[in-house]
Structure 1
Amino acid sequence: MSAQTSNYHRRVAEQKRTAIVGAATALFLESGYDRTSLAKVADLAGVSKATLFKQFPTKAALFEAIVAESWNTDGTTEIHPAPGDLRKGLTSIGHGYVELLTRPGMTDLFRIVIAEVPRFPELGQTQFDLGKMPYFNSVRRYLDAEREAGAAELDDAELAATQFLGMISNYVFWPRLLLVHWSPDDNTVTRVVDEAVAMMVSRYGRDAPPDPRGR
């Protein structure tokens, strides 16, 4: 098989995978996890059952793929800034986190989990283990690196990461679950991130560069 043919088949497989994940997300949200069959997903995605089962042999495997894809930064959200400048690093992480939380489908994913977790607690565990925790741990490791570099003074990087991400998500993301039209403008989002960074630097920063906004 030529490289060109191989690349073509890879693209087709990826397109089908994207269609399957999109169809599953829509059906899980509309009908619930329990009432959605893989056969219905295949029909909506426009693929054969054999194609779907080849990629996702179980509904749980399909949900895992949805979670992993939703939280995959894929290099688009910087969560590994170089240590040495706490304000700059947290600003980069903060805006990356906003971009992640406001992706199309992220709110839908949380709605699916919240609706179904009483009957299917494994969905919540999947969301926690494959989605939230890998991202959270990357932020915690960054804060530990800042401490080791002497740019931050903290004893509990896990608590600090929780505080920082919580200050952002509590305004940018969680209201979306209840308020359909919640969509802060860019200036408001930037202010939310800047204020969260300022509070973190004030609490944990050591010999931090001055705030460029004069604070």
Structure 2
Amino acid sequence: MTAQPSGYHRRVAAQKRTAIVEAATKLFLDSGYDGTSLARIAEAAGVSRATLFKQFATKAALFEAIVTEYWKVDDEEAPLPEPGDLRAGLETIARRYVDLLTQPGMAALFRIVIAEVPRFPELGETQFKLGKMPYFESVRRYLEAANDAGTARLDDAEMAATQFLGMISNYVFWPRMLLARWEPDDSAITNAVDQAVLTMLARYGTQADPRPR
């Protein structure tokens, strides 16, 4: 019979895993994917190479963990909004999306992927499948629920989700890829969110919104 690890050992393993992910994130952002070795990551995290390999067998697996961490949304703390109020639901989703896209390091993570994809196409697949797609799917599911509830009328929830998230990211995120000083203030971001929500309501909403615009 194999002994199960104690609570103490599980906590220590979790702490080491966190240290490895944090060290790898900083090194990837500073030196790029190809320019960062697992040996450097182990040294920066203060763990042995054996410990690192026990947690992450490859650099690709470690990068997957970083992407998942950046895009993680706690479903218990931030469940999908109820579909009964389309405007409130879209506003909640939009604010969460802004928070994800503007967190420190997200733009740099995308730059790494874009720069390294010709040599490491799996990085792009990781960013898409483990990062963007799970969040996109949550928005698509919300719009389908709104359609079923009668607060939205749409034939293609996937296209509607693409339109909504695109309106937001095209203002708050993608200019950062080329403009180093692109930092819209809170009021500008709020306006971009409001305009995206109003556009969705005008296109897909089924109920008159009593609140002032």
Residue type of the partner of 1:40?
Answer: R
Q: Which residue of 2 aligns with 1:101?
A: 101
Deviates more, 1:185-194 or 1:161-170: 185-194
Pair 1:79–1:90, CA change in 2 (3 A): farther
Q: Which residue of 2 aligns with 1:63?
A: 63
Q: Which residue of 1 aligns with 2:204?
A: 204
Structure 2 residue runs of 5 or longer lacking an equivalent are: none
Structure 1 residue 157, shift from structure 2 partner: 0.6
Structure 1 residue 10, shift from structure 2 partner: 3.4
Q: Which residue of 2 aligns with 1:181?
A: 181
CA distance in 2, matches of 1:6, 1:102: 38
CA distance in 2, matches of 1:76, 1:66: 21
Q: Which residue of 2 aligns with 1:110?
A: 110
2:125 equivalent to 1:120 = no
Structure 1 residue runs of 5 or longer lacking an equivalent are: none
CA distance in 2, matches of 1:181, 1:12: 40
Q: Which residue of 1 aligns with 2:89?
A: 89
Q: Which residue of 2 aligns with 1:157?
A: 157
TM-score w.r.t. length of structure 1: 0.90
Q: Which residue of 2 aligns with 1:34?
A: 34
CA distance in 2, matches of 1:44, 1:136: 34
Alignment RMSD (CA, Å): 1.8
Residue type of the partner of 2:107?
Answer: T
Render the CA deviation track for 1:56-96: whole Å, top value 9, x for unaligned: 01111101101111100124884610111110100010001
TM-score w.r.t. length of structure 2: 0.91
Pair 1:71–1:77, CA change in 2 (3 A): farther
2:143 equivalent to 1:143 = yes
Q: Which residue of 1 aligns with 2:190?
A: 190
Identity of aligned residues (%): 70
Q: Is the 8 A contact 2:80 2:142 kept in 1?
A: yes
